[in-house]
């Protein structure tokens, strides 16, 4: 495979995952990634696994609510 | 008790994959039927078969490789992806049910595809436009099913069950679709999408936590707890948005 075609395939692969994970809802991606970092620190670093277990679903609900409010305001 | 919790998590997994595959299959079938009716069934079926073949190869190639990844790392990454994916589905479903977004109209999609296909020229021999349209429709919709099968199947160490659930959905939707032809709009797609979104988000939360060594109360049973929690949250959010929209309409 030529370098040009390889680069095109890499870009297409990256674009697919970008559209799949970020797409038109970057707020969901950002909130989930930040929440995972906090949960990882709470569970693995601070040994507060019980608190981490509460933060994770609360963050998921928060991400959904933020995204819905953003969508409703834009319409 | 253990047998009951294991089978309940397997049931949730099978249900999630089945519904995800069924929803995507309805969308793919709309395109295939539009191609078949407008341009002829031979090229439509060839495009469909080629796409299904490529998707099968993807599952066969990636599935066994993913199973070898350490379970905690796999559940953390897959859980994160499922969490994002599930929340995206829930967002769409809530916006549709509250009227902020139009319901997925298979009839409108069918008519648009027919108009697009009728405008394309015909070449002698194999109808390349029909083949490509059917291939793209099935492949792109099927790719989401492949991701659901691989992520859910490998993380639960039940890839076989996930594959069989997806295949059953494809066969059932294909058979029903062939018999009702263009009446796919009768399928309660948004309700199915809501259920899939709740299941994907529940699996995402559960596995991400397990990947970060969180011990959920009740172990596998907590998965059902997440399903109940997210179902209540989605109902509350959809109800609130519907009320907000009515309020805006009254003011306007």
What single string gives the DSSP state of each residue in chain B? -HHHHHHHHHHHHHHHHHHHHHHHHHHHHHHHHHHHHHH-HHHHHHHHHHHHHHHHHHHHHHHHHHHTS-HHHHHHHHHHHHHHHHHHHHHHHHHHHTTSS----HHHHHHHHHHHHHTS---SSS-HHHHHHHHHHHHHHHHHHHHHHHHHHHHTT-HHHHHHHHHHHHHHHHHHHHHHTTGGGGS-HHHHHHHHHHHHHHHHHHHHHHHTT---TTGGGHHHHHHHHHHHHHHHHHHHHHHHHHHHHHH-
B65-90 residue pLDDT tens: 877 788 888 889 989 999 999 999 99
Q: What is the pLDDT of residue B125?
A: 65
pLDDT of residue B70: 84
Cβ of B90 within 8 Å of Cβ of A71? The answer is no
- Give the global pTM: 0.79
Tell whether A51 lies on the interface with B, counting CB pairs under 8 A: no
**pLDDT class for A36, splitting at 50, 70, 90?**
very high
Band (pLDDT 50/70/90 cuts) for residue A56 is very high
What's residue B154's pLDDT? 85
B33-42, B80-89, B164-173: least confident range: B33-42
Provide the pLDDT for residue B6: 55
For a pLDDT cut of 90, what percent of chain B falls above it?
Answer: 27
Nearest residue to B10 via CA among B162, B166, B232:
B162
pLDDT at A59: 96
Query: How many domains in chain B?
Result: 1
The residues in B 52-111 lying below 8 A from A, measured between CB atoms, are 80-81, 83-85, 87-88, 90-91, 94-95, 100-101
Instruction: State the pLDDT at residue B186.
Output: 60
3-class DSSP state for residue A30? helix
Cα separation, B36 vs B45, whole angstroms:
8
Query: Quick check: A56 and B245 CB within 8 A?
Result: no
User: Which residues does chain B have within 8 Å of residue A17's beta carbon, measured at their own beta carbons?
Assistant: none
Mutant choice from A49, A56, A67, A73 vs B, greatest count of B C-beta within 10 A = A56
> Closest partner residue to B95 among A29, A44, A68, by Cβ?
A68
Whether residue B1 has pLDDT greater than 50: no
Give the structural domain span for B206. Answer: 2-251
Give CA angle at B92 (B77, B14), nearest 5°. Answer: 55
Cβ atoms of B75 and B153 closer than 8 Å: no
Two structure tokens written together for A74: 């834009």
Q: Give the pLDDT band (50/70/90) at residue A51.
A: very high
Taking residues B33-61, what's their average pLDDT?
Answer: 87
Assess whether pLDDT exceeds 70 at residue B182.
Answer: no
B101: left (phi over 0), alpha (psi -120 to 50) or beta: beta
Touching check for B212 and chain A: CB below 8 Å? yes
Instruction: Identify the pLDDT of residue A33.
Output: 95
| Interatomic CA distance for residues A13 and A16, integer angstroms | 5
Across the range B173-192, mean pLDDT stands at 71
**Residue B127, both tokens:** 């109808």
Predicted pLDDT of residue B227 = 94
- Contact flag B91-A53 (C-beta cutoff 8 Å): no
Model confidence at B120: pLDDT above 80: no
Calculate the average pLDDT of chain B. Answer: 84
């Amino acid at each position: 495979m030529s370098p040009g075609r390889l680069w095109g395939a890499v870009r297409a692969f990256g674009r697919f995952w970008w559209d799949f994970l970020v797409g038109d809802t970057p707020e969901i991606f950002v909130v989930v990634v930040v929440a995972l970092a906090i949960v990882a620190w709470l569970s693995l670093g601070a040994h507060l696994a019980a608190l981490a277990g509460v933060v994770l679903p609360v963050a998921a609900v928060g991400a959904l609510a933020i995204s819905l409010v953003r969508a409703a305001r834009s319409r | 008790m253990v047998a009951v919790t294991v089978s309940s998590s397997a049931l949730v997994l099978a249900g999630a994959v089945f519904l995800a595959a069924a929803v995507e299959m309805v969308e793919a079938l709309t395109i295939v039927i539009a191609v078949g009716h407008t341009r002829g069934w031979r090229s439509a079926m060839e495009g469909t078969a080629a796409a299904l073949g490529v998707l099968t190869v993807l599952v066969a190639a990636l599935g066994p490789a993913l199973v070898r990844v350490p379970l905690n790392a796999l559940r953390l990454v897959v859980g994160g992806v499922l969490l994002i994916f599930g929340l995206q589905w829930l967002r769409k479903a809530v916006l549709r049910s509250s009227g902020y977004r139009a319901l997925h109209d298979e009839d409108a999609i069918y008519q648009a595809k027919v108009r697009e296909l009728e405008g394309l020229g015909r070449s002698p021999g194999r109808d390349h436009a029909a083949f490509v349209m059917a291939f793209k429709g099935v492949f792109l919709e099927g790719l989401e099913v492949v991701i659901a099968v691989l992520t859910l199947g490998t993380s639960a160490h039940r890839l076989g069950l996930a594959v069989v659930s997806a295949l059953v959905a494809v066969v059932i939707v294909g058979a029903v679709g062939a018999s009702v032809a263009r009446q796919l709009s009768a399928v309660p797609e948004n309700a199915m999408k809501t259920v899939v979104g709740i299941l994907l988000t529940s699996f995402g939360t559960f596995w991400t936590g397990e990947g970060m060594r969180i011990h959920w109360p009740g172990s596998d049973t907590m998965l059902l707890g997440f399903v109940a929690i997210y179902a209540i949250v989605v109902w509350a959010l959809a109800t609130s948005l519907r009320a907000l929209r009515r309020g805006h309409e009254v003011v306007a």
